[in-house]
């Protein structure tokens, strides 16, 4: 059983049985391909069946020496775990060699967030006199007003906007659908954009249902949304390293700071595990410490 054959079968498994997005599939396959290159570059090639936990530890040490961070090493190991779990489930190997391999210890880095005042400054930097400005205001209001991932934003379709109910139907990671509540301000600007801008754009074939489109009538790209946010941050004089994802972090942080239930925030963000959402409780504790420092007479 060669690496080439096994990787091809694993890719089919990810596509047909797990139904993952193409970006996720490519990332998982790249991780396995890195291991296969490492296992075959020595004098004695080691196939997937012969790979042991010792080989995997050596491989992680190797990629670490190449300069990959602990976060990148942990992500690669996560990808390899999926591969060997698949091989074990198919009875192609007797045991999963990743079970006894520990990921490198990670320092938990809290994401950058924007304050409400900074978000207001960003939105004020938009030129609302142009069609692009009207669209950009709606995009950022939806990002902040619902906590969507940028991929969910650009894939949002008009039939999945339930403005009368105050919900959006989005497709998240693993093609899982969820209903997300969206704020009134976001719905207001979304309505203005659709009525005044989008309905007057000649839409390209297969792009007719997308909510956010460019001037050529095509769905917005992740890169373009990223560029919009970077440009507005510069105009607003915000020095933080922000991206469209920063609005998602800010959405969650402001909810937690306001007393929202963690499980409710988990549901809105589409996190599979509550531990992923718990990072925002750390942000909240930092906020509380700052309040103590600023206002307590003995601090």
pLDDT score at 263: 87
The catalytic position among 173, 218, 222, 235 is 173
Tens-place pLDDT, residues 171-182: 888 788 999 999
| 109 part of the active site | no
Q: Are 193 and 137 in contact (CB under 8 A)?
A: yes
pLDDT score at 203: 95
Task: Give the residue with greater pLDDT, 168 vs 112.
Answer: 168
The matching CATH number, chosen from 3.30.429.10, 3.30.1490.100, 1.10.443.10, 1.20.1090.10, for 116-294 is: 1.10.443.10
Q: Are 283 and 289 in contact (CB under 8 A)?
A: no
| 248 part of the active site | yes
Write the CA distances from 149 to 52, 131, 282, 283, integer angstroms. Answer: 37, 23, 21, 19
| 173 part of the active site | yes
Q: Which of 206, 242, 238, 200 is nearest to 225 (CA)?
A: 242
| 230 part of the active site | no
Domain spans, the chain = 3-100, 116-294
CATH architecture of 3-100: Orthogonal Bundle (1.10)
The catalytic position among 38, 121, 245, 287 is 245
pLDDT at 55 over 70: yes
pLDDT at 108 over 70: no
pLDDT classification of 64: cutoffs 50, 70, 90: confident
Task: Give the residue with greater pLDDT, 277 vs 136.
Answer: 136
The catalytic position among 13, 81, 149, 198 is 149
Task: Give the residue with greater pLDDT, 104 vs 207.
Answer: 207
Q: Which of 161, 118, 155 is nearest to 254 (CA)?
A: 118
| 198 part of the active site | no
Write the CA distances from 69 to 59, 60, 202, 277, integer angstroms. Answer: 14, 11, 46, 23
Tens-place pLDDT, residues 238-282: 988 888 999 999 999 899 888 888 888 888 998 877 777 777 766
pLDDT at 22 over 60: yes
| 245 part of the active site | yes
The catalytic position among 198, 248, 249, 254 is 248
pLDDT score at 110: 62
């Amino acid at each position: 059983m060669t690496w080439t054959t096994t990787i091809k079968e694993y890719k089919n498994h990810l596509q047909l049985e797990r139904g993952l997005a193409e970006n996720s599939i490519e990332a998982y396959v790249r991780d396995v391909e890195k291991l296969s290159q490492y296992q075959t570059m020595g004098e004695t090639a080691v196939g997937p069946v012969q790979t042991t936990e010792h080989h995997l530890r050596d491989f992680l040490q190797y990629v670490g020496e190449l300069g990959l961070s602990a976060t990148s090493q942990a992500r690669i190991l996560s990808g390899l775990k999926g591969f060997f779990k698949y091989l074990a489930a198919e009875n192609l190997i007797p045991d999963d060699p990743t079970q006894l391999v520990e990921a490198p210890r990670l320092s938990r880095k809290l994401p950058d967030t924007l304050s409400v005042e900074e978000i207001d400054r960003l939105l004020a930097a938009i030129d609302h006199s142009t069609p692009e400005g009207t669209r950009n205001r709606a995009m950022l209001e939806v990002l902040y007003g619902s906590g969507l991932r940028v991929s969910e934003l650009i894939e949002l379709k008009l039939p999945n906007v339930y403005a009368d109910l105050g919900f959006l139907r989005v497709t998240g990671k693993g093609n899982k659908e969820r209903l997300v509540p969206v704020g009134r301000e976001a719905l207001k600007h979304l309505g203005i954009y659709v009525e005044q801008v989008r309905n007057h754009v000649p839409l390209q074939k297969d792009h007719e249902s997308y909510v956010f489109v460019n001037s050529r009538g095509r769905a917005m790209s992740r890169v373009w949304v990223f560029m919009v946010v970077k440009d507005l941050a510069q105009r607003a004089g915000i020095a933080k390293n922000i991206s469209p994802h920063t609005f998602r972090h800010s959405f969650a942080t402001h909810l937690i700071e306001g007393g929202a239930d963690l499980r409710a925030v988990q549901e809105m963000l589409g996190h599979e595990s509550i531990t992923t959402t718990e990072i925002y409780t750390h942000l909240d504790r930092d906020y509380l410490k700052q309040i103590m420092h600023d206002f307590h007479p003995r601090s």
